[in-house]
Amino acid sequence: GTPTFIPVGLTPTEHTHLLWTHASKRLQRSKQQLKEKDEEIIALKAQQNTQEVANLQQQLQAKDDEIKDLQEQLNNQPDATLLKAKDDEIKDLQEQLNNRPSAAQLQAKDEEITQLKAQVQQLQAKNAEVVELNKQLEESKSLVDKLQKEKQTLEDKSKTTEQPKQGNGAKYTATVGVGLAAGLIAFTALEHTVRLEMLVIIGIAVTSALVAGGITYAVLPSTQVDGAKEQEVNEMGKRSNKG
């Protein structure tokens, strides 16, 4: 566009007002140009519609002329069947002319089709996201099942061992593992649905792990002490028997 010339010696307020005035004028010119383009498009569409109407009217006029010729022939040799066929043909042309959709209706249909296509694309994207989320949840559930089986195995082994401290440690490890897996499920679900901040999501996942796991080993430290004391007593008893 035309460059803007700023006079020297203006105050900041005057300078800002002058820039705003120039910008407003440029905006008005742009709006005017856009309006002219719209009017030009409407005129072209109207011209196209006018041409189509003119063609139909020309066909109708030709049929009228043909009917006149037939009517003149009927004065000498009447033919009602041929005349009725021509009348039906003219009625069809008139119905086509009356039922032809306007440019505004066609534009509205085009916009409706565009919106429906956009909605279909959004639904397809949502479906893909749901499929991915279900896949991740299934993987998380499989991990939980695996950790629960490992926990059960470790608990079974801890029942037969002679060192309670080691058994409690295995139980603690398995319990925390299951808790962390539960936290992973919470993390995955929240990350795909709520879209929380990453630090908040991690905090929720860890909290879920602590609550779901129970962490018996950390809550009941007396179990560790009792196991160690029991082992110490057994060793002292063996030494006494040897002595």
**CA terminus-to-terminus distance, the chain:** 109
Look at residue 103 in the predicted model and tell me its pLDDT: 80
Look at residue 178 in the predicted model and tell me its pLDDT: 52
Q: Quick one: average pLDDT of 38-53?
A: 81
Residue-wise DSSP of 151-173? HHHHHHHHHH-S-HHHHHHHHHH
Helical spans, DSSP H, in the chain: 12-76, 80-99, 103-160, 164-193, 198-213, 216-219, 222-242
Q: How confident is the model at residue 233 (pLDDT cuts 50, 70, 90)?
A: very low
Q: pLDDT of 151-172, one tens digit each?
A: 888 888 888 765 555 445 555 5
215: three-class secondary structure by DSSP: coil
Look at residue 196 in the predicted model and tell me its pLDDT: 44
Look at residue 50 in the predicted model and tell me its pLDDT: 74
Look at residue 163 in the predicted model and tell me its pLDDT: 52
Tokens of residue 43, six digits = 């005129």
Residue 221: closest CA among 164, 152, 156, 161: 164
Q: pLDDT of 67-100, one tens digit each?
A: 888 777 767 665 677 778 888 888 888 888 888 7
pLDDT over 90 percentage in the chain: 2
The model scores a pTM over 0.75: no
Q: How confident is the model at residue 229 (pLDDT cuts 50, 70, 90)?
A: very low
CA angle (44 as vertex; 40, 49 as ends), nearest 5: 145
